[in-house]
Amino acid sequence: MDTMFVRGLKRKCFDGEEDIEGTLAGIKAIPSYNLQRQSLLDMSLVKLQLCHMLVEPNLCRSVLIANTVRQIQEEMTQDGTWQMINTQSTGQASLDRLVSTDILCRSSRDQAEGKHVPAYGTFNKDFENDQAQDSSDTMSTASAVQAPRNLQSSVWEMENPQENKGNFQKSLDQIFETLENKSPNSVEDLFSEVDNSYYDLDTMLTGMMSNTKMGHCDSLETFSSSTNTASNSNCKSDLNDLDHIVEILVES
C-alpha cells in the first residue's frame, strides 16, 4: 500500500478495494499507476455526469470533482500519456472516422436545435438510445460494452492532445454550463432511457478491467455491433443497412 513510484508519489488509489480485487484475479495484483489514474478519471467523469441527475447538484462537490479531473488531465499531459495513446490509435482509424462523423452529425443536429450537449454526454446519449432500442442485448453484454465504451470515449478523447484538451475542457465547461442553467430538455433526454447498470461503478470498473485484456480492437468491435439499430442520426443508416444484411446472411 505504501509503494513509492518513480515520480515519488505515494499511491493513493486502490486501497483495499475488495470487490475489485476479485475481478483482478487474472491480472497482476497491484494495478499500475496509470491504470489507477485512468480509473480515477473515469470515476470522476461518471460522478460529474451523475450530478445532473440529482435534484440540486451540490456545487461544492462538483467543483471538487472537476478540479480533480483537471489535475489528472494536466498530469497526463505532462507525462506525455496523451501521446502514448495517440500512437495506439492508428489501428482504429476507420472507426474513428465513424465516431467523428457521429459527433459532427450530432453537433449539427444539436446546433439546429440550438442545444449544447456535453461532448462526453453525446457518447452516452447515443449509446443509451441504441441500448433502449436494441432489445436483443443482454444485460451483461450491455454492461460489458458500456464499460469499454466509457474507456473508449476517454481514449478517443485522448487521441489528439490539442483537440482533446479542447474537447475535454469543452466537456467540463458544458458540464458547468449545464449545472448553471439546467435545462430539463437536454439533461432529461440524456438520461431518459438510462440503463441502471451503467451507473454501477463496480460494473464499470469490472468492464474496464476486462477491457484491458480484450484490447482496444475487440472493444471497438463490440461497440460497432451495438450500433446496428436505427438511431436518430442519418450517418448511422449505412451501418444499419450493413448490419441488417449481415444478420440475414448469418441467419441463413
Partner 1 sequence: MTLNSLAATTAFGKDEGTRPEFSRQCTGRLLWSYGCRFSSQPGLRHRGPQPKRAAGPARPEPPAAVGDLLSGPPAAVGDLLPGPPAAVGDLLPSPPAQPRQGQRIRARSARRTGQAPTWGSGAQGPSSRRPGGHQPAEERSRGRRRSRGTGRAGPPVAAGGACGDTRVGPRHGHAAAPPEGFGSLMQDVLWCFSQVKGTIDAGVAESDIISTVEFNHTGELLATGDKGGRVVIFQREQESKNQPHRRGEYNVYSTFQSHEPEFDYLKSLEIEEKINKIRWLPQQNAAYFLLSTNDKTVKLWKVSERDKRPEGYNLKDEDGRLRDPSMITVLRVPVLRPMDLMVEATPRRVFANAHTYHINSISVNSDYETYMSADDLRINLWNFEITNQSFNIVDIKPANMEELTEVITAAEFHPHHCNTFVYSSSKGTIRLCDMRTAALCDRHAKFFEEPEDPSNRSFFSEIISSISDVKFSHSGRYIMTRDYLTVKVWDLNMENRPIETYQVHDYLRSKLCSLYENDCIFDKFECVWNGSDSVIMTGSYNNFFRMFDRNTKRDVTLEASRENSKPRAILKPRKVCVGGKRRKDEISVDSLDFSKKILHTAWHPSENIIAVAATNNLYIFQDKVN
172 scored as a contact of partner 1 (CB under 8 A): yes
177 scored as a contact of partner 1 (CB under 8 A): yes
String of DSSP letters for the chain: ---B-TTSPBP-S-SS-HHHHHHGGGS-SS--HHHHHHHHHHHHHHHHHHHTTSSS--HHHHHHHHHHHHHHHHHHHHHTHHHHHHHHGGGGHHHHHHHHHHHHHHHHHHHHHT----HHHHHHHHHHHHHHH-TT--HHHHHHHHHHHHHHHHHHHHHSHHHHHHHHHHHHHHHHHHHHS--HHHHHHHHTT--GGGG-HHHHHHHHHHHHHH-HHHHHHHHHHHT-S--S-GGGHHHHHHHHHHHHHHH-
64 scored as a contact of partner 1 (CB under 8 A): yes
Residue 8 C-beta: closest distance to partner 1, Å: 9
96 scored as a contact of partner 1 (CB under 8 A): no
Single out the residue of 5, 12, 97, 246 in contact with partner 1 (rule: CB under 8 A): 12
24 scored as a contact of partner 1 (CB under 8 A): no
Single out the residue of 32, 34, 67, 100 in contact with partner 1 (rule: CB under 8 A): 67
Give the binding range for partner 1 (CB under 8 A) out of 88-96, 116-124, 179-187, 206-214: 179-187
Footprint on this chain of partner 1 (rule: CB under 8 A): 1, 9-10, 12-17, 36-37, 40, 43, 47, 55-56, 58-61, 63-64, 66-68, 71-72, 169, 172-173, 176-177, 179-182, 184, 201
